[in-house]
Structure 1
């Protein structure tokens, strides 16, 4: 009896990956929420700009030519103060994008080290093209040569050699790149601080919410453009759009928080009197705008600096780091804001004193008319 020849085994059956419907729906829902919030922010920003054009009717009622002149002046102002900084920002070269990889400190992979070193070379080349670092170009050239030497050693590296190379790479980035970035970081922090104080002071003095929104839009767009010029680079397209979206969102938040600051000013005014509310409301409004400008500035700095990665997994940590910087800088910013507004508060306090002194004098005059006088010692 002939033996049955076994049939050849077919290819292994691949198991379908486990699909979690609830997790998938959550991811899709969160994506919709993020895009919806971005769209609402941009639309609301455009509505804030549109409010400026509503004043056209006030001038048109006086004379049609005056209305047309207002429209032309407003459009020219927007183009000069808002559109020009945004175009300047988008005209900056795209910065070297950090590789989205993690280097294991205990067992680094040579491929990951090579990718990071290649990025360091591109970043140093970007620094060499920066007009603000032209005095450091010999040091940058030496750093590029040293990085290429490290790159040549990654190919045949054994695990112990890769571990030693990882330590050398960490020292290289700290001494060759972070050292070059320190002066730029200091200038960026100074610019962000000054802009935050300027936005806070301008919106505290202004008594119109729409004007506040224009001030915030102008100063924040200009701030982002200045930071990108400082580092001579901007993020890739999506990162740039996110920064512009943040600018729009901060304008909307500044406009929406106007009512909050007015309510808070009214509460403080009830506790301290009418002049207290008059002072506290604008100061709080300016302080809120200053803090939002501060956070936007630090986020723009992180993205235009671009030496650390900006992946989806790192976004939360980077946002938290920017928030910590805001907390650390909030005290000096508010102190400088109060110094800047010292004239406003002192004038208001002197006006209150004059009003109270005038009311006492008037009451004494009325008493003298009717022969009234206070008993001695009262």
Structure 2
């Protein structure tokens, strides 16, 4: 049975690494496309753009990875709370959390009277609140940027770099990093979702969030636009939908990273993925409501500007 479990783990790691490789190939292909378009303007401009892309990729990858690897590695998780290693793991975690700057700023400190597990749960809850702020901020930026941009190549690079940064920021909050197998699974899941794997179940949940919000935003927001601008309703709806899909991805990855960093026992990956999806859906509605007005306002300004130019001709 143990041999079978090890074999399955190896297969999952290899699959995750394969997906990560495909994501890298996709990013390189998008960079080549941007370079080709820039070269049509002028060859030297293309070289300059290519140099900026390479420098950007180097900064995106090397700086966070170096800092990430500098974090304290999380000890091996016990299989359950009944495992003999559980008490030792909690003690090790207590020592790690005792030096956490966020907990110190919040006035949290461990004591010798309360049960250690309950104290750790409280500490992880405090850190979870801070992680939620990072997750929401990143998702909001992804939503607005990709909804307005509508540029597939650039949007893909931005989303990938944003969620990579989110994982790093969350790990820094907890001051520890997941093990390599966890990372392989996490980034493999990111890659799978970026490439295609937005499951039917996830899209159904997304539709449930989008339908009432789109009706509200488009119903009330278009009244402020110029007469005749109703023709751009579908464009606004598509933009909000595109931004929502990418924000959903960002929220989901952030929720998964938070759960990995806050786990005190081994977690079923399928259950973790499902719970992260549900949390992402619960947060998505607020992200859309808070930022949709920006999208409508941007299109409104663009419509008014285009109309003024039309009447000047």
With the shorter chain as reference, the TM-score category is 0.7 to 0.9
Write the deviation string for residues 296-355 of structure 1: whole angstroms up to 9, x where unpaired: 00000111223x3234xx222222222221232122122123133242243367579x69
Question: Whole-Å Cα distance in 2 between the matches of residues 321 and 338 of structure 1?
Answer: 26
| CA distance 1:82–1:251, shift in 2 (3 Å) | farther
Which runs of no fewer than 5 residues in structure 2 stay unpaired?
208-213, 215-228
- Whether the 8 Å contact between 2:147 and 2:239 is mirrored in structure 1 is yes
Equivalent residue for 2:174?
231
Equivalent residue for 2:94?
124
| CA distance 1:32–1:53, shift in 2 (3 Å) | same
- Whether the 8 Å contact between 2:20 and 2:191 is mirrored in structure 1 is yes
Give runs of aligned pairs for residues 298-317 of structure 1, distance below 5 A: 298-306=255-263, 308-311=264-267, 314-317=268-271
Cα deviation for residue 33 of structure 1 reads: 7.8
Equivalent residue for 1:206?
149
Cα deviation for residue 67 of structure 1 reads: 3.0
2:22 is equivalent to residue 43 of structure 1: yes
- Whether the 8 Å contact between 1:188 and 1:301 is mirrored in structure 2 is yes
Which runs of no fewer than 5 residues in structure 1 stay unpaired?
1-16, 18-23, 104-111, 147-167, 360-378
| CA distance 1:86–1:249, shift in 2 (3 Å) | farther
- Whether the 8 Å contact between 1:49 and 1:214 is mirrored in structure 2 is no
2:202 is equivalent to residue 246 of structure 1: no
Question: Whole-Å Cα distance in 1 between the matches of residues 120 and 47 of structure 2?
Answer: 53
Equivalent residue for 2:71?
92
Question: Whole-Å Cα distance in 2 between the matches of residues 115 and 29 of structure 1?
Answer: 24
Equivalent residue for 2:294?
340
Cα deviation for residue 38 of structure 1 reads: 5.1
Equivalent residue for 2:236?
279
Normalised by the length of structure 1, the TM-score is 0.64
Question: Whole-Å Cα distance in 2 between the matches of residues 36 and 54 of structure 1?
Answer: 27
| CA distance 1:178–1:323, shift in 2 (3 Å) | same
Normalised by the length of structure 2, the TM-score is 0.76
Structure index of larger Rg: 1
Equivalent residue for 1:139?
109
Tell me how many residue pairs correspond in the alignment. Answer: 282
Report 1 or 2 for greater relative contact order, CA contacts < 8 Å, sequence distance ≥ 6: 2
- Equivalent in 270, 294, 299 of residue 251 of structure 2: 294
Equivalent residue for 1:221?
164
